[in-house]
Amino acid sequence: MKFRKAMALAVAAGMVFSLNTVNVFAEGEATDITLWTYPVGSWGDSAVVDGLIANFNEAHPDINVKVEYLDYTNGDDQINTAIEGGQAPDIVLEGPERLVANWGAKGLMVDLADLWTDEAKEAIYDSVESACQNNDGVFYEYPLCMTAHTMAINRDLFEAADALQYLDEETHTWTTENFVKAVQAVYDNGQQNVGAVYCSGQGGDQGTRALVNNLYGGTFTNAEHTEYTADSEENIKALELLKSMDGINFDASIAGGDEINLFCNGTLGMAFCWNIAQEKNNAENIAFDVLPMAFPSEDGNPQLCGGIWGFGIFDNGDEAKIEAAKTFIDFMANDETQAAESVKASSYWPVKDLGNIYEGDDLMTEYSAFIPYMGDYYQVVGGWAEARTAWWNMLQQIGSGTDVTEAVNEFVTTANAAAAAAN
């Protein structure tokens, strides 16, 4: 995969590449724009964002940016309410599943083709570029940062259970066979709740999808991102395995955020909803050694779900605001001095080669090992919102005793009906 090779070479060589900014806004009359940002690292911290905007205003004093901070519990409802009231924000910082597959697919977003210059396309990783556009090639997102989602284990528990022998601490990988052995060892050592297949809602569902897809090499969608393929033999086998394992419990009372809390306080021995931000955010609450791990796979070569975050612009019919919004995005993502600072505020990694922006940071260096494992970014398939709901409903059904094949087939039927309606 070109992306993996490019990222691996970039990390190894420490090369630096930045785009020249594009002058998309003519200075002059003052323009007010709104930025609504989900909590992408410190982009949810007003003190940090105020500093970023201050940098922007040094270069563009005629553009005033008002910020609204969203969370993942009510953020979507707030934006949908604003859309219905004709008060949508000018800029939103989030990912392709919202900007492209949801609001973009509904015709609410601005085509950002003029930001996607030939130079930008050359610099930004291919897998990121493809995720920021719809099937017709319309760009609804300009990306800033990315990560590969992982899982994590309580290393102290695994060491006490002599289970570290079943994983490779250097590469942070393990096989499905050794995953099963490790979980059994920890369970036999007295930790009854080793891991939880959480399913009270969609929060953190990238973890359960990656777990199921990786165990036996299944996929969530087809390569064209036009239909859902979770009913494969590989995925059914994976779900049946999880249902049968001692220490792995299907828990309809918790979602991803709850699982993280239970892992951090020692109740669970592993977390499937994890990435670098979780370790940083919870560092003061963890009394054990966290070992981030790729999801187990049959051959030990994982395909991790990735997160991509960037900017989209709602089409509010005001060309001056749209051009001002593009200027803001271009500055934050492309300015030679600012781009690295914008990415570091996210606690993730650049979508293009900016060199080693985290030099000297041992934790970020440790997690950078997962970026080359990033697999297909499939979250832009049609009917994504409906599919996410159907996924946790399916997991609940399996946990309550429904036949795995029956539950998976129901999921695929529901999800593909939504995809067909969206297309």
Task: Give the mean model confidence (pLDDT) for residues 55-77.
Answer: 96
Mean pLDDT to the nearest integer, 73-99: 95
Alpha helices in 90-154 (DSSP H): 96-98, 118-123, 126-131
The predicted pLDDT at position 93 comes to: 98
Shared-domain flag, residues 115 and 218:
no
User: Looking at the structure, do residues 278 and 159 belong to the same domain, yes or no?
Assistant: yes
E strands of 107-158, at which residues?
A: 142-148, 150-154
Question: What CA–CA distance (Å, rounded) separates 239 from 264?
Answer: 25
pLDDT given at position 43: 96
Query: Domain of 404?
Result: 150-301+382-422
Residues 353 and 206 in one domain: no
The DSSP string of 294-356 is PPPBTTS---B-EEEEEEEEB--S-HHHHHHHHHHHHHHHH-TTHHHHHHHHHTSEESS-B--
Asked whether 97 and 107 are in contact (CB, 8 A), the reply is: no
Give the integer Cα–Cα distance in Å for 375 and 388: 19
Residues 326 and 349 in one domain: yes
- Please compute the mean of the pLDDT values over residues 79-105 and round it to a whole number: 95
Distance CA 416, CA 401 (A): 24
Share of the chain above pLDDT 90, in %: 82
Q: Are residues 368 and 396 in the same domain?
A: no
Per-residue model confidence as pLDDT tens digits over 22-50: 454 555 579 999 999 999 989 999 999 99
Q: Which residues contact 110 (CB under 8 A, 6 or more apart)?
A: 140, 312, 313, 314, 315, 322, 325
Q: Are residues 294 and 339 in the same domain?
A: no
pLDDT of residue 234: 98
Note the pLDDT of residue 28: 59
Output the CA–CA distances (angstroms, integers) from residue 312 to 60, 115, 259, 384, in the order listed: 20, 11, 30, 18
Measuring CA to CA, which residue among 211, 187, 196, 183 is closest to residue 252? 196
pLDDT at 20 over 90: no
- Which residues is 266 bridged to in the sheet? none
Q: Partners of 268 in the beta sheet?
A: none
Mean pLDDT of 347-366: 91
How far apart CA 384 and CA 395 sit, in angstroms, is 17
Both tokens of residue 238? Answer: 């994976």
Rg for the chain (alpha carbons), in Å?
A: 21
Query: Cβ distance 199 to 396 under 8 Å?
Result: yes
Q: Are residues 161 and 190 in the same domain?
A: yes
pLDDT tens digits, one per residue of 2-18: 444 344 434 433 444 44
Whether 230 and 161 map to the same domain: the answer is yes
Helix H or strand E segment including 248:
strand 248-251
Q: Are residues 225 and 252 in the same domain?
A: yes
Q: Which residues pair with 148 in a beta bridge?
A: 306
Give the pLDDT score at 55. Answer: 98
pLDDT of residue 27: 52
Q: Are residues 337 and 261 in the same domain?
A: no
Mean pLDDT, rounded, of the chain = 92
Residues 165 and 226 occupy one common structural domain: yes
| Contact predicate 210/304, CB 8 Å | yes
Q: How many structural domains compose the chain?
A: 2
pLDDT digits (tens, 9 = 90+) for 223-281: 888 999 999 999 999 999 999 999 999 999 999 999 999 999 999 999 999 998 899 88
Same domain for 389 and 354, yes or no, is: no
pLDDT tens readout for residues 115-173? 999 999 999 998 899 899 988 899 999 999 999 999 999 999 999 999 999 999 999 99
| CATH number of the domain where residue 110 is located | 3.40.190.10
**DSSP bridge partners of 167:** none
